[in-house]
Chains A and B, each alone.
Chain A
Amino acid sequence: MLMGRTIIKNLLHKYATRLHPYEQRILPDKFRGRFRFIIDKCIMCRNCAVKCPTKCITIDPETGLWEREVMACVYCGVCADVCPTGCIIMTNVYRPPITEPTKLTFMCTPRPKKKKPTEEAQTMNKKDVETAIKQQQAERTAPSLPVSEE
């Protein structure tokens, strides 16, 4: 009796599972999926590289190199949150598996640091510089402590 009821119930109701290849699951908007980079917007501020918990982003403002180790990334989405220009965007597309360590490399417009002259250099006149150089040279040539060689 109990079994008959279960059989009829199972025959009449819908599938318990999704028919996967034919019916795709709709991912929510907030899903942390694949990254999209609009790298032209990058201003090389290094916010993402500093805040990343796995340190998978390397940025060199001098050369304009922007590099991401894909396998080290844990997809926490912090870089997308802190990016001031919105050049890192997390989409809700499912991310494919990676089988070997890969690096994602972009070349951006380099922004070298402006070298500010130090206060000492500003106040020093030429004679002082010359004497300082002479002093350094004298220190270098001065006999140092005997070094034991094996």
Chain B
Amino acid sequence: MAKTLIPFGPQHPVLPEPLHLKLVMEDEIVVEAIPALGYIHRGLEGLATRRDFNQMVYVVERVCGICSCIHAMCYCQAIEGLMGLKVPPRAQYLRVIWSELHRMHSHLLWLGLFADGFGFESLFMALWRVRERIMDINEATAGNRVIISTNIVGGVRTDINTGYLQEILRTLKTVEAELKPLYDTMMNDYTVKLRTVGKGVLTKEQAWQLGAGGPTLRGSGWAHDMRTLGYEAFHELDFEPVVETDGDAYARTKVRFREVFQSIDLVRQAIAKLPDGILAVPVKGNPTGEITTRVEQPRGELFYYVYCNGTPNPERVRIRTPTFANIPPLLAMLPGVELADVPVIVLSIDPCISCTER
């Protein structure tokens, strides 16, 4: 049988961002997938060398449009580590609250897009309606829906008052009540199962060898979550990494949906333990030395390497994003599947190409 080459992307109805895959097909079956990246490279790492380390917080926030708060948090942790700053406890807890709200709205966005990917549009709309509630919390507490700009080197910029904390708890109660029937639909519906169960299987050994991260790795049976390192206030909160063992698209969906409930629980714990105190410590001088930090993004492990030479501008900022780690596992999932299943499998790693190309 002669092989044909079918281009998938960069413009495709299911892809929110430009990822190009050359699919080598034999009849209806994919034999090989060749990726092509670089459609939205913006040179933000180069910009870091021309900006002040305080201004750079707002630039790294714009690396990703969905998990902006977590990018800024990881960068701030790096600079704080270089300068020996100790973030006040209240700021640590507020960072946890905002990062978990971001994880929730990112997962809900993905679950909606995934439902849209296999043609379940009403589920997509129902999930995004729930997501709006989380966005409203962000808007009321920080001033913007996604790019919240609350992290600064040494702490946070704004506070959440006690009255609004109760409002957050009330909203989370509604969100949880609204999500439970949607969880049943997503996980137990016959048609959804037909499109997801057994599609894009990544075995436990493959996931580790190819260096997958985040829900892609946890869906294959590894309890690997960067939050267990205990950065910010996570060492004082009680949680377990969500793990599924099947390694298919269904398992990854389940991991993400269960993580939404886990995030709701973490925000509740953080609000219950929120201490009083100052929001930020003053920053004096310029950072010197090199450091690496890693945090857990909604898509997986985010890694920052920062090298500063005592001037206000960092010498080098290297960002390794989770989607970059998840592309080799994606290429291992694709051979052997039918062409119609490719969109669902590509979406199942939650690709964020803007993150990857920076």
Contacts and interface: CB of A to CB of B under 8 A. Distances in A.
Given A76-B149, A77-B149, A81-B157, A31 B58 contact: no
Given A16-B129, A30-B158, A81-B157, A53 B143 contact: no
Contacts of A77: 143, 149
Interface string A62-77: 0000000000001111
A119 B334 CA distance: 74
Contact of B55 (A27, A28, A30, A53): A53
A53 B51 contact: yes
A78 interface: yes
B178 to A, nearest CB: 12
B139 A76 contact: no
Contact of B141 (A30, A51, A75, A90): A30
A51 B54 contact: yes
Given A16-B129, A53-B58, A77-B149, A30 B51 contact: no
Interface string B49-81: 001001111110010000000000000000000
14 contacts: A27-B139, A28-B139, A28-B140, A28-B143, A30-B140, A30-B143, A30-B158, A31-B143, A32-B143, A32-B144, A51-B55, A53-B51, A75-B144, A76-B147
B142 interface: yes
Most chain A CB within a 10 A radius of its CB, from B140, B143, B144 = B143
A78 B56 CA distance: 12
Contacts of A75: 144
Contacts of B59: 53
A43 interface: no
A108 interface: no
Given A30-B142, A53-B58, A77-B143, 10 more contacts: A30-B141, A31-B143, A32-B144, A32-B149, A51-B55, A53-B56, A53-B59, A77-B149, A78-B58, A81-B157
A27 B140 CA distance: 8
Contacts of A31: 139, 143-144
A52 interface: yes
A76 B139 CA distance: 13
Contacts of B157: 81
Given A28-B140, A30-B140, A32-B143, A74 B158 contact: no
Contacts of A32: 143-144, 149
Interface string B133-153: 000000111111001010000
A131 to B, nearest CB: 40
Contacts of B139: 27-28, 30-31
A30 B57 CA distance: 20
Contacts of B142: 30
A81 B152 CA distance: 12
A67 B59 CA distance: 22
Nearest to A75: B144
Interface string A29-59: 0111000000000000000000111000000
Contacts of A30: 139-143, 158
Interface string B34-57: 000000000000000001001111
A52 B140 contact: no
A86 to B, nearest CB: 17
Contact of A76 (B56, B58, B129): B58
